[in-house]
């Protein structure tokens, strides 16, 4: 098996008990932990945009961007899919969209960032 991880398997492992202990060394290896933490924070909590007037308009555009991202992913275009999910998150923050974005980062070979973002998401979920 290659060095790249199956996004679903990593997601399942990270959300199982004690996973953060297993993946924390991987998440910080080869990068400064402070900059990695900042990148993960920006990925998990992007700035929100309010260019559209109503929540319904933002939700509609969010859903359209997610569908476009899913199609791009199905075509094997992980970078295009990631861009769609990232824009969708700026309109409306949904955990499912965030997980899709993190999975695309994983597919793009950004393993440390993806692992750190999964961990940050788990921390945010546990602390809220």
Distance, in Å, from the CA atom of 8 to the CA atom of 13, rounded to the nearest integer, reads 9
Asked if residue 110 is part of any domain, the answer here is: yes
Asked if residue 54 is part of any domain, the answer here is: yes
pLDDT band at 32; cut points 50, 70, 90:
low
Asked if residue 2 is part of any domain, the answer here is: no
Closest CA to 44 of 110, 90, 112, 108: 90
Asked if residue 70 is part of any domain, the answer here is: yes
Task: Look at the chain and report how many structural domains it folds into.
Answer: 1
Asked if residue 61 is part of any domain, the answer here is: yes
pTM over 0.85, yes/no:
no
Closest CA to 88 of 104, 109, 106: 104
Proportion of the chain above pLDDT 70, given as a percent: 70
Binning the chain into helix, strand and coil, the percentages to the nearest 5 are 75, 0, 25
Asked if residue 123 is part of any domain, the answer here is: yes
Average per-residue pLDDT for the chain: 78
How does pLDDT run across 52-105, given as a tens digit for each residue?
A: 678 899 899 999 999 999 999 999 999 999 999 999 999 999 999 999 999 999
DSSP codes joined into one string, 53-71: SSHHHHHHHHHHHHHHHHH
pLDDT value for 120: 92
Give the domain range for residue 92: 7-127
């Amino acid at each position: 098996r290659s060095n790249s991880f199956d996004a679903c398997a990593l997601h399942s492992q990270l959300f199982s008990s004690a996973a953060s202990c297993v993946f924390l060394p991987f998440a910080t290896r080869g990068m400064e932990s402070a900059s990695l933490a900042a990148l993960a924070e920006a990925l998990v909590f992007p700035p929100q945009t309010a260019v559209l007037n109503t929540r319904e308009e933002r939700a509609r555009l969010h859903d359209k961007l997610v569908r476009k991202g899913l199609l791009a992913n199905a075509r094997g275009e992980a970078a295009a899919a990631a861009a769609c999910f990232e824009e969708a998150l700026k309109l409306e923050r949904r955990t499912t969209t965030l997980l899709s974005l993190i999975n695309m980062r994983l597919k793009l070979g950004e393993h440390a960032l993806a692992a750190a973002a999964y961990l940050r998401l788990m921390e945010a979920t546990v602390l809220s």
